[in-house]
Amino acid sequence: MVLEFAASPKTKPPAKMSTPSPFLYSILILIVSFLCQASAIQLNGARYLGNFWSSSRTLSLRAPKYQYETKYFQQKLDHFSFADLPSFSQRYLINTQHWEGPSRSAPIFLYCGNEGDIEWFAANTGFVWEIAPRFGAMVIFPEHRYYGESMPYGSKEEAYKNATSLSYLTAEQALADYAVLITELKRNLSAQACPVVLFGGSYGGMLAAWMRLKYPHISIGALASSAPVLQFEDLVPPETFYSIVSDGFRRESMSCFNTIKESWDVINKVGQINGGLAQLTKTFHICRELESVDSLSNWLESAYSYLAMVNYPYSTDFLMPLPGSPIKEVCRKIDSLPDGASVLQCIFEGISIYYNYTGKVDCFDLNDDPHGMSGWDWQACTEMIMPMASNRTTSMFPEFYYDPKSNEEQCLKDFHVKPRPTWITTEFGGHAFKSALKAFGSNIIFSNGLLDPWSGGSVLEDVSETIVALTTKKGAHHLDLRAATAEDPDWLLDQRSSEIKLIRGWLDEHYDKKKAISAYR
Amino acid sequence: MVLEFAASPKTKPPAKMSTPSPFLYSILILIVSFLCQASAIQLNGARYLGNFWSSSRTLSLRAPKYQYETKYFQQKLDHFSFADLPSFSQRYLINTQHWEGPSRSAPIFLYCGNEGDIEWFAANTGFVWEIAPRFGAMVIFPEHRYYGESMPYGSKEEAYKNATSLSYLTAEQALADYAVLITELKRNLSAQACPVVLFGGSYGGMLAAWMRLKYPHISIGALASSAPVLQFEDLVPPETFYSIVSDGFRRESMSCFNTIKESWDVINKVGQINGGLAQLTKTFHICRELESVDSLSNWLESAYSYLAMVNYPYSTDFLMPLPGSPIKEVCRKIDSLPDGASVLQCIFEGISIYYNYTGKVDCFDLNDDPHGMSGWDWQACTEMIMPMASNRTTSMFPEFYYDPKSNEEQCLKDFHVKPRPTWITTEFGGHAFKSALKAFGSNIIFSNGLLDPWSGGSVLEDVSETIVALTTKKGAHHLDLRAATAEDPDWLLDQRSSEIKLIRGWLDEHYDKKKAISAYR
């Protein structure tokens, strides 16, 4: 793990930090962006789940341990029209140290940057850095447009000014950026014959899979980790995400699951009585008095969802400093309270594992949103319409339906933009996605950990001989892409080893074919 | 053949026409648009070949014999951004008369409209109409944006106003139009399970192949007839086109080939002497005195190139009313003149087969360009950069090189737009196009007639078991897509029968798979 985050109240920075630097601030933004996947739930499911960062927190970090050069490439703002628009400077990180070069047609490993600063993804995708040397591979991490330093119109302020300036923040444009960048780069390095292997996690994994689908000539294969490519329209039931989160708690303890399930009504009842909000504020150690019950519920829901995403087998500090198998710990806490303890006290103690594992937080600020409009919020209001719902049968969350209309209203209000809920399925495939891939595709790994609530929207069964699903029962959100640790369990080692073997197979096949062509000639 | 064209001087309409109607005018525009493929040569090869229509001509037509309804669909102007742009009305022709409907998952045959009025393509693509009933298929001909009636901004005048209004005239946007249209249409008809088979000729064939590549979930296969998908960058030698045209003449008669090859110097020499232009004007029956030798040369070059494209085995009136094997006729004329005849006289007599087969033209107007800026000219200045050159070894044309710089200057001058010569290869595949298709593709027929000069930029060998090349030695530009005639030679019947068999195979396989899935469930 490269970055280390310490949760602490905003008003009380941890001793080791002096003043927040712009760099730290930008790291914060990345993480928010990354986490904003959840805000898709809010926006698309007309449900608030994106307030993870509302809790006051500051961060500390160590410098990334991976070496690379930082370069920039001029990109067209709209690849698909000839409108007279300013170009923008796309940042990319590149390491050619272990690359065996064009003469050996050595491979290029390209990570499809997702919704955040590319340095953060580079730092958190140790797998690519670790395996590159044994493949003699170049490593490239291009940044996604409108994130990090890759800002159209010269600055984030200008790029995020309004719906017009944001309008070119789309997945298709990002894919075209990657295609143009790698084509030009290979041309400049006389590396046209060097095969490209794509990597990506979460939205980046979706991009890697889509890139393979839309630009098969650009790469020879893709590892798409925790990529919910089917989390659109009605491809999977909208309850999927929350059901998987709930399963994670149910699996640990039925009484824990039931306590959480009951808690919503209790919170609502308390919230409705005189002085109820003050009472909830006190019980949950909220810094400023709650203005509504919803903000508390959303804050709790966020924690449960993120806990499921990072339910890793060993302690991490990816989103928050957390113990290994954090859901187990949360439930242990909830279940271990004495009989006299109230439901709310149980919930607070449980949630504190997530929001305050270091024990340094005195109070939580639910309305802390220093970041304003984030890129993912825009994407979730335009293309990335991932319907979410919760039903009382499978979910421990309050019941709610997916309501496209209220989602549209919210997006019109927030961004003056109308969502296109059927666009992603039209562009990349809907119900026919898998059968189209089977007939018209090859060399994609869809890797998933089944504890990850996003796994329900991904590909969990082999599509063909070369489009395969690698699932681990105990894995969570793209754990396989992270750096190796001494604590990696066997099943994780196996998963990574399968991935390496498959990638090796793609390359061997590629070189064999090339040899055959040369021999033929 | 449905439309009938009669060449005649502009100043002298043929008796059967009264006054040019707006409808006729629009038909004229279509044909020009279609023919403007050749103007790509002019623009990309810095060489003028697009003045086919400079000869004065008017048209007559009979109503198309195929039955369809004309409908309209609102499309986004930019599918790949969320810029606040007006939508536009896309026209499509639809016939459901023989369609066996959703209950039988009956197929949908979709012709990818190309650079012209869709009614013209519908009228000239008899093959699709003729085979649809035996497949129980629906037939759809959607129109390409910026052509025919499918005009953004409400009118051609507004759509073609400037580079800004034209900027959304791209192949990628057109493909997305087709994807969105067919997805919505299937949804509305509850026909999601109905497989789509794509058809296209020339640029439409490129669109059909690219559609299969980019939207594999939308269709199960594509017949791409005479689709020069490799006529970009350095994928094929730039001399290819003119070499094939020249071969067509060399094959018929070496002396004919030599006469044409010699003629350019003769024309230049005559043009340089005093009164030379007047002499050329007279010899070639040009209505208005020539201002330069170039305009005459271009006019001649156009004719030779179009003759090669429509070098069909029987008489047609596709571009012009022409005899069967028109190159043979032209050469017969050139070769049959008495020994005393001058080279220029020979050339004039030969070319008259093309420009004046009906014998009704008194004089030719080389500068007749009533159409102004055409859509294909824009496309040829933006994405469709097809390098062309002519060398003295393989070509009967004057020598010239492909000069990207002068092409760029011309496009900046004409349209205030800068060409993107490497974009198509980046977006759809360059040197790796075929190998990517092999690894990541299925069910495409690349059909070509080897007499067609565009065949050199197409796929002429099987790429895989399911991506096959059907070539005919004696075929020309997408002859296979035309309606059957009593004169169809055996090799053409064979080609069409192979196509039908392959399409049937795609459908059978599709239904078998579906059945397997149903049985499994």
Compute the distance between CA of residue B13 and CA of residue A484 in angstroms, rounded to an integer.
81
What single-letter DSSP state applies at residue B456? G
> What is the torsion angle, in degrees rounded to the nearest 10, for the CA atoms of residue B475, residue B481, residue B486 and residue B491?
40
pLDDT at A481: 96
Residue of B nearest to A174 (CA): B80
What percentage of chain B exceeds 70 in pLDDT?
Answer: 85
Nearest-CB residue to B167 (from A83, A173, A432):
A83
Confidence tier at B366 by pLDDT (50, 70, 90): confident
Please determine, for residue B8, whether its predicted confidence score (pLDDT) is greater than 70: no
Q: Does the pLDDT value for residue A41 go beyond 50?
A: no
- Whether residue B81 and residue A80 make contact (CB cut-off 8 A), yes or no, is yes
Question: For residue A324, is pLDDT > 60?
Answer: yes
**A15 CB burial (10 A radius; 0-12, 13-18, 19+):** exposed
Say which residue the tokens 């990696």 belong to: A488
What are the DSSP E strand ranges found in B463-513? 467-472
pLDDT surpassing 60 at residue A32: no
Work out the pLDDT band at A61, boundaries 50, 70, 90.
very low
The predicted pLDDT at position B463 comes to: 94
- Indicate the pLDDT class of residue A367, thresholds 50, 70 and 90: low
Residue B26 has pLDDT above 60, yes or no: no
Q: What is the dihedral of CA B355, B360, B365, B371, to 10 degrees?
A: -80
- B213–chain A nearest CA distance, Å: 7
For residue A87, indicate whether it is catalytic.
no
pLDDT for A100 beyond 50: yes
pLDDT score recorded for residue B516: 72
- What tens digit of pLDDT does each residue of B292-310 get? 999 999 999 989 999 999 9
Task: Name the residue of chain B whose CA is nearest to A213's CA.
Answer: B214
Above 80 in pLDDT, residue A318?
no
Average per-residue pLDDT for chain A: 86
pLDDT at B518: 64
Is residue A237 predicted with pLDDT exceeding 60?
yes
| Mean pLDDT score, A459-464 | 95
pLDDT on residue B159: 96
Residue A466 dihedral angles phi and psi, to the nearest 5°: -110, -5
| Of the candidates A283, A417, A408, the residue with the CA atom closest to the CA atom of residue A347 | A283
Per-residue model confidence as pLDDT tens digits over A103-112 = 999 999 999 9
Chains A–B, number of C-beta pairs less than 8 Å apart: 123
Residue range B108-158, pLDDT digits in tens:
999 999 999 999 899 989 999 999 999 999 999 999 999 999 999 999 999
Q: pLDDT at position B229, please? A: 95
A145-157 tens-digit pLDDT: 999 999 999 999 9
List alpha helices for B273-428, DSSP H: 276-283, 293-309, 326-336, 343-355, 375-382, 404-415, 423-428
Q: What is the pLDDT of residue B471?
A: 97
The model's pTM: 0.87
Residue pair A163/A381 in contact (Cβ under 8 Å)? The answer is no
CB contact under 8 A, A170 and B429: no
A-interface mutation test, from B190, B215, B431, B440, most A Cβ less than 10 A away: B440
pLDDT of res. B435? 84
How many CA atoms lie less than 13 Å away from B47 in the CB half-sphere?
28
Output the pLDDT for position B519. 60
Q: Hey, CA dihedral for B355, B358, B359, B362, is it positive or negative?
A: negative
* Distance, CA of A242 to CA of A235 (rounded, Å): 16
Across A462-476, B332-346, B464-478, least confident range = B332-346
CA B359 to CA B355: how far, in whole Å?
A: 9
In the structure encoding, which two tokens stand for residue B349, read together?
């007599």
- Per the prediction, chain B carries an average pLDDT of 86
- Cβ neighbours of B431 in A, within 8 Å: 192
Residue A444 touches partner B, C-beta closer than 8 Å: no
Looking at residue B21, its pLDDT comes to: 36
Mean predicted confidence (pLDDT) in B160-172: 96
Mean pLDDT, range B206-218, rounded to an integer: 95
pLDDT bracket for residue B189 (50, 70, 90):
very high
Range with the poorest average pLDDT among A389-398, B176-185, B357-366:
B357-366
Residue of A163, A170, A436 with shortest CB distance to B216: A436
Q: How confident is the model at residue A56 (pLDDT cuts 50, 70, 90)?
A: very low
Query: B69 forms bridges with which residues in the sheet?
Result: B94
- In this complex, the residue of A82, A173, A440 whose CB is nearest that of residue B216 is A440
Query: What is the structure's pLDDT at A374?
Result: 81
A477 in active site:
yes
pLDDT greater than 70 at residue A384: yes
- The predicted-structure confidence for B401-422, as pLDDT tens digits, reads as follows 999 999 999 999 999 999 999 9
Residue A502 has pLDDT above 70, yes or no: yes
Sheet containing A221-225, strands listed edge to edge, beginning at the edge strand earlier in sequence: A69-75, A88-95, A138-142, A108-111, A196-201, A221-225, A444-449, A467-472
pLDDT of amino acid A51 = 25
Interface confidence (ipTM) of the complex: 0.84
Percentage of residues in chain B with pLDDT exceeding 90? 76
Taking only the tens place, the pLDDT of each residue in B490-509 is: 999 999 999 999 999 999 99
The pLDDT score that the predictor gives to residue B64 is 53
Find the helix or strand (DSSP H, E) in which A491 lies: helix A490-520
Of the pLDDT bands very low, low, confident and very high (cuts 50, 70, 90), residue A64 is low
The reply to whether A21 belongs to the active site is no
Rounded CA gap, B198 and B224, in Å?
8
What's the whole-number mean pLDDT along residues B60-78? Answer: 82
Average pLDDT over residues A423-442: 89
Q: Which pLDDT does position B222 carry in this prediction?
A: 98
pLDDT at B433: 85
The predicted pLDDT at position B5 comes to 24
pLDDT at position B59 is 33
Residues B222, B438: contact at Cβ < 8 Å?
no
- Alpha-carbon distance B416 to B402, whole Å? 21
Q: Is the pLDDT of residue A35 over 50?
A: no
Cβ count near A103 (within 10 Å): 9
Percent of chain A with pLDDT over 70: 85
- pLDDT tens-digit readout, B425-436: 999 998 888 888
- Which residues of A fall within a CB distance of 8 Å from B214? 214
One-letter amino acid at A107 equals P
Q: Is there a contact between A172 and B80 if contact means CB atoms under 8 Å apart?
A: yes
Q: What share of chain A is helix, strand, coil (3-state, %, to 5)?
A: 45, 10, 45
Judged by average pLDDT, the poorest of A270-284, B38-52, B239-253, B325-339 is: B38-52
- Please give the residue of chain B at the shortest CA–CA distance from A416: B84
**Structure-block tokens of residue A129:** 């850095």
User: Active-site residues of B: which are they?
Assistant: 202, 452, 477
The pairing of strands B108-111 and B196-201 is parallel
pLDDT at A151: 97
CA distance B351 to chain A (A): 39
Give percent above pLDDT 90 in chain A.
75
Nearest chain B CA: its distance from A416 CA (Å): 10
